[in-house]
Chains A and B, each alone.
Chain A
């Protein structure tokens, strides 16, 4: 018999086998010492470490920074000021008029973000629902369209911003097309309304695929025979949608709504690349404000930025709690 050569699989697996052999004895020793519970801790440790380093520690640091003042980045050079940064942010003559506030930019950004979220989330939910309804039908090339609508989700937000700037800028694609059609070109990103609309349109374009997918999953979970029962009764399509589709899609719609809210509040990358917050401050949103106050302005103020981000975090916590409640209610309903 010829000597057997090791297969490709064995070659690939060899280093893994070696590694497994190396970690096996210490793990066994630890199990003897610490028991089953101790083993659980060992296996949880790597993830916990990552979560700690990238989430918990920054969160704690952020809290600390928000109670200090100064321009230095290192904690050593900063002085403790208590809640002064929060007070500064919240100091306002009239809360309805950003210009009467001490940190008017914070309030402008907050107001902008609020308006943005209202419009963006409504548009997002509407567009994603309609797209999901269309993609749920037996149409030709359904798989292709599903991929097409999901594709932008995979793009880096910066790439999204760059693509759309290239389309919308003064000598961009859109203006080229308009000129070739005999229309007057428009400086889209220099117009307050157009720029604001562009931030909404672009962020919807970039993220709707994700929400469409959630809604599509919800639509496909609705049993086909419910629609057939309605068809036997001659139920008009509008009534089928209102009385069957909408109520049964409710939990998915709620999840989409809250997720879109959470992500809308945090909008940054695409917009920063697309408009940079302009023209003026018309598309300046909260995250960009925080970034600029903390890192990008001449008189940087990490303490103020930290306080602002904690305030924004509180809003997000409330929204996340809503989402958790909704998805738990959904799970409880599914379990029945």
Chain B
């Protein structure tokens, strides 16, 4: 079991408040990913859950039990550190058994758990090596193994893949997903890699400056970002954000485009690069000069600038003959337009019944 609930968690370091009242419930067996820009408090929040730091106010519950005042060990959670934190002077086996030996666990039970974890993570041949004799990916596995043998109520992982090279990160990401499917233990995973978040998570928690901006499934986050920050943060390349002023239920964009908007006043229209398509000749369109062409082979990212200086990004499938300096005319997919009010909050599409 591992249902984790946070109620109005705040954390101050000295006079500065870093976490400003976080409420969150992580269901048993769920894999929740914390994302957010550097310094937004992801690690701090994870450490508060782990019990390595104490919140300044608020309560933490695990399976309905208030653990706010309990020590890290008493919470029964396991943590995987970004640096792995393997004991350098111990063999892999000793690293795995060290934590278990604190609880007067029977010897054969310790051995059984180490065997099981070693088999699951395919580190059995490495058990007698030291961490310095392992590759990055192997160390990562050992760090996860050390968490698994404790059979915790939940795993807490702070950027576990960030020290691996790109290729290995993809492999380990898939392994982590499989591991979660197999163990069905609650996992909270911190990352600032969007792809990692989107591919791993049951639900994503987007944090900014110590506040939760949105909690949603990966696709919900992509399809219905709750505010401008999430809209800009999720999805690559970043969403195009165009400022406009709505009058009589319509916001006018440059080039004669005209978007229905539920409320009048200043607003921001968001269109993902993938949802901008070449416009029919003569039809109203966003027009700009190509400034940069990023050819990725299977797709091409085009950067352009409108005459009034707004930057536009679009993605076209396959390869594009366009070159910098040429003119680009784009029209948005009318069902894929995001509208944000003056406070940056999402406004619902007046027409669509989604």
Q: A residues within 8 Å of B by Cβ?
A: 223, 225-226, 228-236, 239, 243-244, 247-248, 336
Contacts and interface: CB of A to CB of B under 8 A. Distances in A.
Interface in B46-66: 50-52
Given A228-B52, A228-B79, A229-B79, A235 B99 contact: yes
A225 B81 contact: yes
Contacts, number: 58
A244 B77 contact: no
B99 A232 contact: yes
B185 to A, nearest CB: 15
A280 B70 CA distance: 62
Contact of B102 (A225, A239, A247): A239
Given A228-B52, A229-B79, A234 B102 contact: yes
Contacts of B51: 232
A235 B150 CA distance: 13
A235 B51 CA distance: 14
A232 B50 contact: yes
Nearest to A248: B89
Nearest to B147: A232
Interface residues of B, number: 24
Interface string B62-104: 0000000001111001110101010111000000001110110
Contacts of A233: 73, 98-100, 102, 150
Nearest to A224: B85
Contact of A231 (B52, B88, B132): B52
Nearest to A244: B87
Given A231-B52, A232-B77, A226 B87 contact: yes
Nearest to A333: B132
A248 B88 CA distance: 8
Given A232-B50, A232-B52, A336-B132, A225 B99 contact: no
Given A231-B71, A234-B71, 15 more contacts: A225-B81, A225-B85, A228-B52, A228-B72, A228-B81, A229-B79, A229-B87, A229-B146, A232-B78, A233-B98, A233-B100, A234-B73, A234-B102, A235-B102, A247-B89
Contacts of B72: 228, 231-232, 234
B79 A232 contact: yes
Interface of B: 50-52, 71-74, 77-79, 81, 83, 85, 87-89, 98-100, 102-103, 132, 146, 150
A188 B264 CA distance: 93
A230 B150 CA distance: 12
A24 B181 CA distance: 74
B85 A228 contact: yes
Chain A contact residues, majority secondary structure: helix
A239 B98 CA distance: 10
A235 B101 CA distance: 9
A41 to B, nearest CB: 41
A336 B103 CA distance: 33
A244 B88 CA distance: 9
Contacts of A228: 52, 72, 79, 81, 85
Q: Count chain B CB atoms within 10 A of each CB in A225, A226, A243, A248 and give the residue with the most.
A: A225
A225 B83 CA distance: 8
B130 to A, nearest CB: 9
8 contacts: A228-B85, A233-B99, A233-B100, A233-B150, A234-B72, A234-B99, A234-B103, A235-B102
A226 B77 CA distance: 16
B92 to A, nearest CB: 14
B98 A223 contact: no
Return the 6 tightest CB-CB contacts between A and B, nearest first: A234-B73, A233-B99, A225-B85, A229-B85, A247-B89, A225-B81
Contacts of A231: 52, 71-73
Contacts of B87: 226, 229, 243-244
A67 B233 CA distance: 84
A225 B50 CA distance: 13
A226 B88 CA distance: 9
A29 B71 CA distance: 73
Q: Count chain B CB atoms within 10 A of each CB in A228, A236, A336 and give the residue with the most.
A: A228
B102 A236 contact: yes
A236 B100 CA distance: 12
Contact of A234 (B74, B79, B89): B74
B85 A223 contact: yes
Nearest to A228: B52
Nearest to A336: B132
A198 B98 CA distance: 44
A243 B103 CA distance: 16
Contact of B81 (A229, A236, A239, A244): A229
B104 to A, nearest CB: 12
